[in-house]
Amino acid sequence: MWTTPKRFALVSASAEGPFELVALDNALRKAGVGELNLIPVSSILPQGCVLSELPTLTPGTLTPVVISKICSSTPGQKIAAALGVAMSENSHGMISEYHDIGVSERTAGKTAEAMVKYMMEERGLEPTKVTSVSAGHIVKHHGAAVAIAVFLP
């Protein structure tokens, strides 16, 4: 039975591999979530959900995540993935996913923050704190970048 998450962790990483799928798997493992069964969910951060460190979870654990990912097989291409996170003491928060080609890790993070601020404003909500997590990569052969919010009980 699903419950409302009480905590969340932010992780990010980038990696290479001999194929795009392997590059993605390598990035997930590097981020610390490669042995989990990731279940993508949408972008609502429950009220009172607090940022924490990623604990060690049993391999195969069904794990709800908000994930931004990008893969490329174009050598020399710059890729980045980011999440913007808006938390509020008075309401629920939001998470925005952003990924793009040709942008830096920093630009991706700032863009994701701008997106999540806008999402909150459109709902009439006021964030107490806005942050981001991002990963950037310059592709050698096959590359991937991921940014993930892991929801925890």
For residue 146, what are its two tokens? 């991921």
Q: Is 1 a domain residue?
A: no
Q: CA-based angle 107:108:109, to the nearest 5?
A: 90
42 is catalytic: yes
**Catalytic residue among 12, 97, 105, 132, which?**
97
Q: Which residues span the domain enclosing 21?
A: 7-152
Spatial separation of the C-alpha atoms in residues 83 and 51, rounded to whole Å = 14
Spatial separation of the C-alpha atoms in residues 110 and 19, rounded to whole Å = 29
Give alpha helix (H) positions in 7-75: 20-31
**Catalytic residue among 14, 43, 68, 72, which?**
43
Read off the pLDDT of residues 32-43 as tens digits, 9 standing for 90 and up: 999 999 999 999
Q: Is 147 a domain residue?
A: yes
Domain total in the chain:
1
How many other CB atoms are there within 10 angstroms of residue 77's CB atom?
A: 15
Q: Is 17 a domain residue?
A: yes
Q: Are 2 and 152 in contact (CB under 8 A)?
A: no
Tell me: pLDDT of 44 over 80.
yes
What CATH number is attached to the domain comprising 141? Answer: 3.50.20.10
CA-atom Rg of the chain in angstroms: 15
43 is catalytic: yes
Spatial separation of the C-alpha atoms in residues 56 and 115, rounded to whole Å = 31
Read off the pLDDT of residues 96-138 as tens digits, 9 standing for 90 and up: 999 999 999 999 999 999 999 999 999 999 999 999 999 999 9
Tell me: pLDDT of 3 over 90.
no
90 is catalytic: no
12 is catalytic: no
**Catalytic residue among 37, 52, 73, 104, which?**
37
**Residue 113: what pLDDT?**
98
Q: Is 2 a domain residue?
A: no
The overall average pLDDT reported for the chain is: 97
Q: Is 37 a domain residue?
A: yes
Read off the pLDDT of residues 71-83 as tens digits, 9 standing for 90 and up: 999 999 999 999 9
